Amino acid sequence: MASESAAELLRKAQVVGILELVCQALELTASQYDLAKSRYESVGSWLAESANALLATATIYPQGSVALGTTVKPLARDEHDVDLICFVRGLDVNLPPAALKYAIGQRLRENAHYRDRLEEMARCWRLKYQNDFHLDITPSIKNPNCPSDGELVPDKKVNQWKPSNPRGYQRWFQEFAQLQPRIHLARDTLAEGVRAELQPFPEPTRLKGILRRAVQLVKRHRDIHFQKLDLDLRPISIILTTLAAKSYARCVAASEYESELDVLNDVVRLMPMFIEERVVQGRKQWFVWNETTAGENFAEKWNKAPRLAEAFFEWHARASADMSELIGIVGLDRLTKNLRESFGDTPVAKVMREVTDQVSHARRDGRLSVAASVGLSVGAGIATGVRANTFFGRV
């Protein structure tokens, strides 16, 4: 029974290792991040050096997925989204947001390097760096009614300011990400002696932050799910990020787990628990609050277009089922099929090429075996050897 338990946990560790590689394939590389940082800092300096008094105290900093470490490459293009805030302290709330946005755009047009890359968006300015990323620069000012570094950003029509708190949200998310779940069987069942007996392929690998990886996985699953549907129905990333963070905090506080894969499964499954529902004038309303500033409901669009809420719950049912299926999957063929359907062909193909290359090396070295309930393994022990020129057996 102990060996069966070890095999099960090691198989889950194998899946976790592959999910970690999928997430790495989706995110900004270290060199891309450094390049983006260098470029947005240069943009910030250019804006602050403007003769326009409105921009005298302008500073630029990242918000969203770049700041949180949850970037996911969009499906429709090669560029990553890098969301930035251009915060200008000392400006009065009576300044129209359109005036500040206009000043930023005018200053960027004064630089030939930025002029050819510049595109005006509804609430921000976009600088496009083909095949790497684009920088979306949203203006903001201090929110005098929020004591926790709150800011005001333009509404969609750039007619008025609305509350936000990118820096406060980042701190809030970081606090949750630092929480550690209780994985109570790891020390006993994955002891070194058991590892030597059943060495799964690939090597057991921990996630580089369970919450961040959970956010990346649900965002990518959403993109794949809505790829063939109406893209306008996709739940926005801040909703998925907020719900995953609250779900993760609840899982850490309330439960113990056998593996990181079980934690991921619960985080996804419990996300809807943190959507507040009310009936207002006979109509259902939804609220996903930004806890770092008053008055920001990330789900406000759901209350104007209920189909958005329906689309979220339909997607969530699919995502939860797909994640739950990973718990019991045996064999690389079935695992690859699930991952392709959930996260797309490109990142999964890249990861599985790495996996099969390692399998081939292990076969040539005579270290490849098939272990009951694990799938492909590298090592010896209780597994049955595979001859050098045979196919992948049961995988």
Print pLDDT tens along the chain (395 aa): 344 467 788 888 889 999 999 999 999 888 988 999 999 999 999 999 999 999 999 999 999 999 999 999 888 776 788 999 999 999 999 999 999 999 999 999 999 999 999 999 999 999 998 877 899 999 999 999 988 889 999 998 989 999 999 999 999 999 999 999 998 754 444 444 444 333 334 455 678 899 999 999 999 999 999 998 998 999 999 999 999 999 999 999 999 999 999 999 999 999 999 999 999 888 999 999 999 998 899 999 999 999 999 999 999 999 999 999 999 888 888 899 999 999 999 999 989 888 777 766 666 665 544 443 334 443 333 333 333 332 222 33
Do both 123 and 191 map to the same domain? no
Do both 221 and 155 map to the same domain? no
Residue 61 belongs to a domain: yes
Q: For residue 229, what is the DSSP state? A: S
Residue 344 belongs to a domain: yes
Do both 314 and 240 map to the same domain? yes
Domain boundary among 128, 144, 169: 169
Q: What is the CA radius of gyration of the chain?
A: 24
**Dihedrals φ, ψ of 222, to 5°?**
-60, -45
Residue 337 belongs to a domain: yes
pLDDT score recorded for residue 161: 95
Domain boundary among 141, 169, 197: 169
Do both 295 and 341 map to the same domain? yes
Do both 291 and 314 map to the same domain? yes
Do both 59 and 146 map to the same domain? yes
Domain boundary among 128, 150, 169: 169
pLDDT score recorded for residue 311: 98
Residue 377 belongs to a domain: no
Q: Provide the domain limits for residue 187.
A: 2-28+175-364
Q: What is the DSSP string of 44-61?
A: HHHHHT-S-GGGTTEEEE
Do both 18 and 44 map to the same domain? no
Nearest one of 110, 137, 109 to 125, comparing CA atoms: 137
Task: Report residue 49 as tokens.
Answer: 């050096």
Strand pairing category for 80-88 and 133-142: parallel
Do both 153 and 189 map to the same domain? no
Residue 376 belongs to a domain: no
Domain count, the chain: 2
* Alpha-carbon span 186 to 256, nearest angstrom: 11
Residue 281 belongs to a domain: yes
pLDDT score recorded for residue 269: 98
